[in-house]
Amino acid sequence: MIGIPKETLAGERLVAATPKTVTQLRALGYEVAVERGAGAEASYSDKAYSDAGASIVDAAAAWDCGIVTTVNAPSEQQVAQMNNAAMLISRLAPHTNNELLDALAKRGVTALALDAVPRISRAQSIDVLSTMSNVSGYRAVIEAAEEFGGMFTGQVTAAGKTQPAKVFVIGGGVAGLAAIGAAVSLGAEVRAFDVRPEAGEQIESLGATFVQAKAAQQERSSTGYAKALSDEQERATLALYAEEAAKADIIITTALVRGSAVRTITKEAVAGMRSGSVIVDVAATGGGNCELTVPGSKTVSDNGVTIIGYTDLASRMPRHTSQLFGTNVVNLMKLLTPAKDGKPALDLDDPVQRGMTVTNESQILWPPPAVAVSAAPAPAAAGSAAAGATATSLSPEELKEEAQRKAAAQEAEQAAKRKRNTVLMAISGIILAVALAFTDAAFLATFSIFVLAIFVGYYVVSNVSHSLHTPLMSQTNAISGIILVGSLLQIGSENPVVTTLAVLSAAIASINVFGGFLVTYRMLSMFRKDA
């Protein structure tokens, strides 16, 4: 039996399961007990839960279940209501909540922290932090739009013209990208910055301008996380933020590092902003990126800048956030219940399950062992062991020199490759010019069109934005359809060479058409909602 208690944290509107996820949990073999009124704040009625197959119970019965899942960590009184050897699935903040871990261990509860999911690819479907960040980033734009005294999109009317709002987003993670997408869709002029240079492509794919600042770019460590900023990099980033803040109507800050906020907007930067500007500090839960942020409140600076430091942005959209949170729980239960028999089987050899298990019966298992995953490129197979042994014995200066030598060797290799390509193209051009000099005018005209089509096609396709790849696929399907029709018309030719080429052309064009439609349908299915 999985218990879904009502959240007791003041102002919390979320619930750990929705009628839809109740149905999914029951499909895994579980029975579900929902506390009366648990989903009311998220617009889910008790009747909707009972129609989905859940039992409507009181608080004591919900906490008495073999498995209990909540949005927020339970109080000591709620832990005392749990069964010995029960399982708790919740956000537990284990890195700062030692007293709760002690209470859970004393009670014999096996606790899985949804906010301690290892950051690896196969764990993304149960990553509650990403879910909450996504909603918070979107909601930050909604809050900014309500507070801002103008429209996001530019308008051209008979009464005159208005300029679009200028939005600056700090951070290109989940929350930052969600904020960028929402602001762009509302018509704002969006600029964004992230200390990780590889985030630029994702930012630009959403229609925003990636602000470049080489002196402020961070390097990534072998674990995949950004390295700490040096003093010079920190000064460069603060100068960049102040410059962008002076130009922006709205700033959305999302810089959190393992739950702690990084200072990005100083009070001097706020003083340089225009009156009526808005700052939404999504990182207020970690103390705030803005120096003037008051977590949980909205304040106005001396020069008229509104600073929003709400810590419940995700809870302000309770219906969809609860659905997403509940889906994270369902995905976890699928991992714990491979047999779909309603019996969780915790596998501590699995790095995902081990990483989020903070207590197991009477043992405290936090912190977990490091996940053996590296974001650094794998070393070459030949001599990799020797190279690894050598690397560990080098000093930082020697490692830097080694990296510079490798970069110089790669640059030399690329230069030699470019030279070879240039020579080959020149020779091919001479041979082609000589050959065309002895051909008739009709073939020359046809061949010229063919060559021009190659160049045009190359430059068109290579410059298409990632967001347009699906419609481009449909366009190439149409072109392949024309080729297919032309091939069918030539199959009846008396010339065997023409017939052979026509058959091959028809076959290849058919593969393009059907393969293109198959890929397009698969891409579109990713954005379809379940019926």
- In the predicted structure, residue 475 carries a pLDDT above the cut 80: no
For residue 401, the model assigns a pLDDT of 65
Number of domains in the chain: 4
- Are 163 and 203 in contact, with CB atoms under 8 Å apart? no
Residue 457 covered by a domain = no
DSSP string for 91-123: ---TTT-HHHHHHHHHHT-EEEEGGG--SSGGG
Of residues 469 and 280, more confidently modeled: 280
Q: Do 267 and 351 fall within a single domain?
A: no
Residue 177 covered by a domain = yes
Q: Do 328 and 292 fall within a single domain?
A: no
Between CA 44 and CA 318 the distance in angstroms is: 10
What is residue 220's DSSP assignment?
B
For residue 223, the model assigns a pLDDT of 43
- In the predicted structure, residue 438 carries a pLDDT above the cut 80: no
What is residue 308's DSSP assignment?
E
What is residue 27's DSSP assignment?
H
Closest CA to 33 of 70, 5, 73: 5
Lowest mean per-residue pLDDT among 134-138, 269-273, 413-417: 413-417
Q: Which residues does 504 contact at the CB level (< 8 Å), separation at least 6?
A: none
Residue 458 covered by a domain = no
Q: Do 266 and 220 fall within a single domain?
A: yes
Phi, psi of 453 (to 5 degrees): -65, -40
For residue 327, the model assigns a pLDDT of 97
Amino acid found at 162: T
Between CA 255 and CA 322 the distance in angstroms is: 24
Closest CA to 373 of 221, 237, 248: 221
Q: How far is CA 463 from the centre of its chain?
A: 24
For residue 384, the model assigns a pLDDT of 41
State the catalytic residues: 119, 124, 127, 130, 225
Kindly report the average pLDDT of the chain as a whole number.
Answer: 86
Tens digits of residue pLDDT in 207-237: 999 998 765 555 554 444 455 567 777 888 8
Residue 308 covered by a domain = yes
What is residue 55's DSSP assignment?
E
Tens digits of residue pLDDT in 482-519: 888 888 888 888 888 889 999 998 898 888 888 777 77
For residue 265, the model assigns a pLDDT of 96
Pairing verdict, β 160-162 and 155-157: antiparallel
Q: Look at the block and give the residue holding tokens 């119970």.
A: 57
For residue 520, the model assigns a pLDDT of 74
Q: Do 281 and 393 fall within a single domain?
A: no
Q: Do 228 and 342 fall within a single domain?
A: no
Of 416, 446, 476, the domain-final residue: 446
Closest CA to 2 of 53, 74, 75: 53
Q: For 164-185, what is the mean pLDDT? A: 96
Residue 89 covered by a domain = yes
Between CA 366 and CA 93 the distance in angstroms is: 11
Domain CATH code at residue 33 = 3.40.50.720
Between CA 155 and CA 353 the distance in angstroms is: 52
Phi, psi of 299 (to 5 degrees): -130, 165
What is the domain extent for residue 110?
A: 2-125+318-364
- In the predicted structure, residue 184 carries a pLDDT above the cut 80: yes
Q: For 189-193, what is the mean pLDDT? A: 96
Between CA 100 and CA 512 the distance in angstroms is: 59
Q: Do 324 and 439 fall within a single domain?
A: no
Q: Do 110 and 247 fall within a single domain?
A: no
Q: Which residues does 57 contact at the CB level (< 8 Å), separation at least 6?
A: 3, 33, 34, 35, 36
For residue 95, the model assigns a pLDDT of 87
Q: Which residues does 288 contact at the CB level (< 8 Å), separation at least 6?
A: 261, 281, 294, 295, 309
Q: Do 349 and 251 fall within a single domain?
A: no
What's the predicted TM-score (pTM) here? 0.70
Tens digits of residue pLDDT in 59-75: 999 999 999 999 999 99
Q: Do 238 and 359 fall within a single domain?
A: no
Residue 459 covered by a domain = no
Between CA 421 and CA 144 the distance in angstroms is: 53
| Helical spans, DSSP H, in 273-314 | none
Residue 454 covered by a domain = no
Between CA 71 and CA 91 the distance in angstroms is: 6
- In the predicted structure, residue 39 carries a pLDDT above the cut 80: yes
